[in-house]
Amino acid sequence: MIYEHPEWQKPLFNALERRGVSFGAYDLKQGVFGDQDPIPARLAFNQASPSAYLRGNTRAVPLGLAYIEALEASGVPVLNGSRAFRFELSKAVQSRVMAREGIDYPRTLAFNSVEALRARASEIGFPAIFKPNQGGSGARMFKVESIDEVEEILAADPGLWAPDYVLLLQEYLPHDSQNDGVVRMEFLGGELLYAMKVYSSGGTFNLCPSEVCNPGDGEQGACALPQTPAAAPPRFEPFAQVPPEAVEIGKRICQLGGLDVAGIEYLETDDGRRVFYDINANSNLRGPIGEAFGFDPFERVVDFLLSRLETTR
């Protein structure tokens, strides 16, 4: 188990322990590995998150990628391996793949210079979303009304260029976040595990489904990106009526990104588009949603891991 977040993986670790599964945990916050190290396991599962830099763990992502690729070079199968991790780390890559495949995704410009962006910003138009290429938990996202506002935000906080010095200007998608919400589909082994509707007050981009970040009781979550005091916490509800065509596109995205486990989000815009706007490899499952469908989602992940482990014998 390759991880960084101090809390997100605990429900899965607990489920593995309940089932008596032998596993090791490689913590990316402070790690080391060598070329002569013995093979640590027959199977590895990458649960690293692009948002590690928000928790002061910027070094976790490059070490995680290096470690995953080293394991793969040693012949160890890695679920959500280097291909999936690289896909998750770059929303610019996701946008190119979605455009090539004809999947509706927000129009996106990637840039490392506001002056360079200025010449092409009209391709996106305003209002727009200004955000990191390596995102996570809805952090450092702004709705902006002009290129000058982008420049002002960066002048006030140059640290927003971190962690990879690539930023995005992305199409703004008008939708009813309070009444229609967004749909998050969770996939396991390329198949839909469950879906839920996520409703927000519009005051935050942080819709992380982890109960650590957004508890079901409405209490303040222990998140590196806390909700603003004026914003009501997001609401999560089981959603059984996912259109089959949306599920098929979600499966296709998993194949395109090499995603063994994924959380894929889409929304319905005010003008009737169904836009797939967020692709997560480090999928934070929400226990009460799975239970509403009659199962423990973490137990399902253990079943999946054991089934894949059997193929490595």
Spell out the per-residue pLDDT of the chain, length 313, in tens. Answer: 999 998 999 999 999 999 999 999 999 999 999 999 999 999 999 999 999 999 999 999 999 999 999 999 999 999 999 999 999 999 999 999 999 999 999 999 999 999 999 999 999 999 999 999 997 767 789 999 999 999 999 999 999 999 999 999 999 999 987 788 899 999 999 999 999 999 987 656 677 888 888 887 656 655 655 555 556 788 899 999 999 999 999 999 999 999 999 999 999 999 999 999 999 997 889 999 999 999 999 999 999 999 999 998 7
> 280 and 190, same structural domain?
yes
The SS3 assignment for 133 reads: coil
Burial class (CB in 10 A: 0-12, 13-18, 19+), 274: middle
> 249 and 147, same structural domain?
no
> 164 and 192, same structural domain?
no
> 290 and 187, same structural domain?
yes
State the Rg of the chain over Cα. Answer: 19
Q: Pick left, alpha or beta for residue 75 (phi over 0 → left; psi -120 to 50 → alpha; otherwise beta).
A: left
Residue 297 maps to a domain = yes
Q: How many domains does the chain have?
A: 3
Domain residue limits at 260: 182-307
Per DSSP, 267 falls in state: E
- Find the angle CA(27)-CA(31)-CA(37) to the nearest 5 degrees: 105
Rounded CA gap, 286 and 289, in Å?
A: 6
Q: Give φ, ψ of 82 to 5 degrees.
A: -60, -40
Residue 313 maps to a domain = no
